[in-house]
Structure 1
Amino acid sequence: MKKLLLFTTTVLLSLNLNSQHKKYFKTIYKIESSPLKDQQSSGTCWSFATTSFIETEAIRLGKPSISLSPMFYVHPTYIDKSEKFVKTKGKSWLDAGDLTFSVFRAYEKYGAIPESVYNGIIKEDWQHDHVEMDNLISTMLTSVAKSGYGRIKPNSWKQSLKGVLNAYLGKIPEKFIFEGKEYTPKSFAATYIGIQPENYLEVTSYSHIPFYKKSTLKIPANWGNNTYLNLPINDFESVIENALANGYSLAWDGDASEPNFNFDKGIATLTKKEEDLKITQKLRQQTFEDKSTTDDHNMHIVGKAEDASGKTYYIMKNSEGKNEMDGFMYMSKNALLLKTISVLVHKEAIPKTIQAKIK
């Protein structure tokens, strides 16, 4: 494991949420990571966050810092979930959003590509903008899925889908030159990244599924019926704390629609009343069941900080462009504990006392 970079910094900002005074954040842990990327007008935070996580894991393993292409994983994921959408006659998930599982599935099957080789933006366009592409795919596949038994042409619609993806994202190269050497995506992943997807777990904390076991979490974007390790809230918090203290970052899936999640300011808190509460298992379950906590955004947890009063915040790499915190979000501890659906982490970051309870 690469030595954890521990340093303390002070970030000054004007906090206009409840007052006009200056607050500062003192960094407790900050894990070395890759530069931020901007998803722009695309619903691919899931791929940006997980790609950042993979880049950061590679650094932890002693590999050179590299900017990977998030769109490399978007391409095959659209194909996979489109196949299920057609198979289920339009009943499964087809929206632009997705989960970390899809990136890891594509990484394991296809590898990785530097963003400088394949950025998912064709020359005639200027940024990630998937509105038109998503509308075309939805219209086309809804028509295919509802065309009736015996009328679906399995090869034709797949070729049409690949044509749309290639038109908007560009065709993925089978081979490429990087720093004077030729690679395939698979050989590049083995050489430059070196992570093993089986070593990572998605961890959640809800009482309607068994604790210390892997279970399927029924959320809309989990079209692949992926399984999560479910832990009680105290152990869930311990995993996050232990990971950051030992140099492991975590990919985050959760609800970022709260009124006090200010992306321009880079601050994510709950209401004042909720910030004073103790976040319990019961409260987490309640907000999951009443759908006030949903999986609407993905970010990447890379550190821990505290404000002038000693209140704990977590440092999140975001993919929604620059803000007053240089693209990062500082999320309060209560916001993290209540609004997190799950975190992706290396299994060695889970405390051994918790590992011993896993069935």
Structure 2
Amino acid sequence: MKKILLALFVFFLSYKIFSQTSNTFKVRYLIKTSPLKDQQSSGTCWSFATTSFIETEAIRLGKTPIGLSPIFYVHSTYINKAKKFIDTKGKSWLNAGDLTFSVLDGYRRYGAIPETIYNGIVEGDWQHDHVEMDNAIEAMMQSIATSGYGRIKPSSWKKSLQGILNAYLGEVPETFIYEQKEYTPKEFANEFVGINPNDYVEVTSFTHHKFYDMFELDIPANWNHNKYVNLPLHDFEELIDDALKNGYSLAWDGDASEPNFDFEKGIAKLTLGEESVAVTQAMRQKAFKSKTTTDDHNMHLVGIAVDEFGKEFYIMKNSEGINQYKGYVYMSKNALLLKTISVLVHKEALPREIRLKLKI
């Protein structure tokens, strides 16, 4: 009963945000989710969005709502990313940005930690601010990666990198006390989260690879050569809509640099001319090829709404600051179909016909 009441409270709180702050939109579908977190001065939207997704999946599975630490996955991802950077002699991706894959991989390998135990803000600091840390890591790893294999000390560089991460983010605890019981991160994840990372797929829609197949998407942040499911645009749209209507949220990766994307006002639309025509597969491909659609931001897709003209908008949970919608963003359907790189979703959210074609 306690779990049910808590889940209902989270849903009521989320619904209240939209019903009271929006005079323009009417909510049609809204997934029960966790409170929004602010990434502040850090390039970690990928971890904040995916951690929110995991929290929401745990709620869907009947777990008590709980806030997880996004910075826990930033810490581990930097270690793995740095190794790849050294192996490629400085040619691999080492930017602060990343993808949903790294969070799922971090969950699989290491588990999860409550944000109340490890928030990634060291004593004396007041917010997430990774500029110094990112610059220090880049300078150090550039020097190490280009120094030559005969001179690289495998244990030393890792200890040095961990030293920087611990200094700016805090040391990750091997065990911790939660609700008067001691847990490792893996034990905590199994008991309080309970997702299976293998149950999720990243889905995209581009014509330069075969549809209903998996391929490695060539984007800079895909440093670990992850593979995406490729669907035609009509199936891609159906997947997103069906998932939301059936209680499944999606982690979103896409382009947030459009002139009409005003996150301070909580609205993401294309230009007037682009909003008036249907987005086609060819338009998506052209935008990707010309790099006017890039993977520069991650958000958490949690609902569908309509404006006063009956036009559909998607409700996005955004970790980049607060606006009139408490940090949420309304994104038009055309904007989503054109500017999305990919979405992460549970396999069971895929319509049956699509799953049969994919054989998953």
Instruction: Report 1:271-290 matches (<5 A).
Output: 271-290=271-290
2:219 pairs with 1:219: yes
2:124 equivalent to 1:124: yes
User: What's the CA shift for 1:151?
Assistant: 1.3
1:149 to partner: Cα distance: 3.4
Shift of 1:11: 5.1
Contact 1:41 1:129 in 2 (8 A): yes
**Aligned residue for 1:199?**
199
| Amino acid of the structure 2 residue aligned with 1:279 | V
SS of 2:240's equivalent in the other structure is: helix
Q: CA deviation at 1:10?
A: 3.9
Aligned match of 2:114: 114
The 2-side partners of 1:255 and 1:299 are apart by: 10
| Per-residue CA distance 1:242-294 (angstroms, 9 max, x = gap) | 10010000000000000111011000000000001110110000000000000
Q: What are the ranges of 5 or more consecutive residues in structure 1 without an aligned counterpart?
A: 14-22
Instruction: Give the share of equivalent positions with the same residue, in percent.
Output: 66
Instruction: Give the distance between the partners of 1:12 and 1:349, measured in 2 at CA.
Output: 30
In structure 2, C-alpha distance between the alignment counterparts of 1:285 and 1:217, rounded to whole Å: 13
In structure 2, give the amino acid aligned to 1:35.
P
Matches of 2:330 and 2:185, distance apart in 1: 34
SS of aligned partner of 1:126? coil
Contact 1:30 / 1:302 at 8 angstroms: preserved in 2?
yes
Equivalent residue, structure 2, for 1:300: 300
Structure 1 moving runs of 4+ over 3 Å? 2-13
Match of 1:345 in 2: 345
AA aligned opposite 1:38: D
**Secondary structure of 1:356's match?**
helix
Alignment-derived partner of residue 265 in structure 1: 265
Contact 2:21 2:325 in 1 (8 A): no
Deviation at 1:180, TM superposition (A): 1.1
Higher helix content, 1 or 2:
2
RMSD, aligned CA: 1.5
In 2, Cα distance between equivalents of 1:10 and 1:251: 23
Amino acid at match of 2:347: K
* TM norm structure 1: 0.95
Residues in 1 aligned to 2:115 and 2:104: alpha-carbon distance in whole angstroms: 17
Instruction: Say whether the 8 Å CA contact 2:317–2:328 is kept in structure 1.
Output: yes
Question: Separation in 2 of the partners of 1:75 and 1:210?
Answer: 35
Cα distance in 1 between the residues matched to 2:167 and 2:146: 25
Counterpart of 1:104 in structure 2: which amino acid?
L
Report SS of the residue matched to 2:235. Answer: helix
In 1, the alpha carbon distance for the partners of 2:20 and 2:81 equals 42
Are residue 66 (structure 1) and residue 35 (structure 2) matched?
no
Cα distance per residue 1:57-95 (max 9 Å; x no partner) = 000000000000000000010000000001100000000
What is the one-letter code of the residue matched to 1:129? D
Residue type of the partner of 1:325? Y
SS in structure 1 at match of 2:303 = strand
* SS in structure 2 at match of 1:338: helix
Contact between 1:12 and 1:25, CA under 8 Å: does it hold in 2?
no
* Count of aligned residue pairs for this structure pair: 349
- Paired position in structure 2 for 1:356: 356
